[in-house]
Amino acid sequence: MLGSTKHLVLGSALLVAALPAFAAEENSNVAPVAAAPSAIVKCPGITNIPFTSDAEQALPLKIVGSLRCGEMVAVLSDDEGYTARIRTRDGLEGYVAQMYLASDGSVRMVMAKPQVPSATPQDGIVRWAAGAPGCDEFLSHGRHVESITADGITVQVSIQDSGWKYRVNVAVSNETPDSLLVVPGNITLDELTPNMRTLAVTDTAKLAHTPTHQVFWTQANAVPSRSAVAEPGSRVPESERLADRLSATNDYLNPHLALTSARQGGFERTETIDVASVALKTSTVPAGKVNAGVIWFERDMNAHELSLRVPVADTVFDFSFSLEQKKQ
């Protein structure tokens, strides 16, 4: 049986603890999938399902990897508990909540996700534009995410103003046959208006030891720049754009963004999230894997238009954002 009365508790725990799966997924233990009953991963309201190395999934969770919606897995054992032992096509084994699996009889009822169109780089650069091939946008935990897919690589970003620093969330999904090198030091954030300048990266170690200035606060969320949203003479409302996503992708920042959320309180830091654990790190992303993390940049209280560039492989992914100016 693929079902359980315990799935609500487990589902919440998975969302709270899923970040480590994105940070360093470099398991080279690739084994052929043995003949076994198969199931398809279903995602009720979310787009990625983490799986663990232990059947009980006791906290803290020991994350093995992440499953994509519609992915086929082999069911190695099913003891009618609230988890099943599965093996992915690339040989990773672990336990996943039964609620996220559809049995063979239900597979034909699940429609496969259409292939996301690819953006075409020009001179090694691909720029985000609303409605353009390979470009997507959506809300994740209330944050506006811009996404570009080009040549099998998907980069997703969002920007928040903490009132002290700009917090940039980045996810890189690798659907190419080769590994990809992600180097946070190559990612840049430029202010375009009212001043034109490059904003400096903030050392994560310094943030971790700062007793004040909560780095996970959100005073304002950046939204797509108007220049990248509508053609001259036309303007499509955000709700309409989000409802008609021509290049819809998975949300690779979820549940990562859920972890980097905090409410404003006093001046002393109260967040329990370890800054170093969520920071984007230099890593090699194997084929079929995702790397996600946070980078903090210096803030200009008057900045309005921002340009974020994420180099991956031979392509620069260029995103444009706008922030409403607030009186301080």
Domain boundaries, the chain: 7-107, 125-322
Mean pLDDT in the chain? 78
Min mean pLDDT across 43-52, 118-127, 264-273 is at 264-273
| Contact (CB, 8 A) for 322 and 226 | yes
Grade residue 240 by pLDDT with cuts at 50, 70 and 90. Answer: confident
- Cis? peptide before 194, omega within 30° of 0: yes
Grade residue 280 by pLDDT with cuts at 50, 70 and 90. Answer: very high
Which helix H or strand E contains 22, and what residues bound it? helix 20-23
Grade residue 308 by pLDDT with cuts at 50, 70 and 90. Answer: very high
Compute φ and ψ for 175, nearest 5 degrees: -110, 20
Smallest CA-to-CA distance from 152 within 268, 278, 313 is with 313
Residue 73 has pLDDT above 60, yes or no: yes
- How distant, in Å, are the alpha carbons of 81, 101, 205, 256 from that of 8? 14, 14, 36, 19
Min mean pLDDT across 34-38, 53-57, 99-103, 318-322 is at 34-38
Grade residue 77 by pLDDT with cuts at 50, 70 and 90. Answer: confident
d(CA 126, CA 69): 26
CB atoms within 10 A of CB 48: 25
What integer pLDDT is reported at residue 268 of this predicted model?
A: 55
d(CA 133, CA 155): 14
What's CA 54's distance to the chain center, in Å? Answer: 24
What integer pLDDT is reported at residue 15 of this predicted model?
A: 37
Burial of 150: CB neighbours in 10 Å, binned 0-12, 13-18, 19+: buried
Assigned token pair, 184 = 């946070």
d(CA 189, CA 310): 9
For tokens 């409302």, the residue is 237
- CATH code linked to domain 7-107: 2.30.30.40
- How distant, in Å, are the alpha carbons of 77, 78, 84, 291, 297 from that of 102? 14, 13, 12, 27, 43
- What is the DSSP code string of 95-161? EEEGGGEE-HHHHTTSPPPPPPP----BTTEEE--TTSTTEEEEEETTEEEEEEEETTEEEEEEEEE
What integer pLDDT is reported at residue 325 of this predicted model?
A: 58
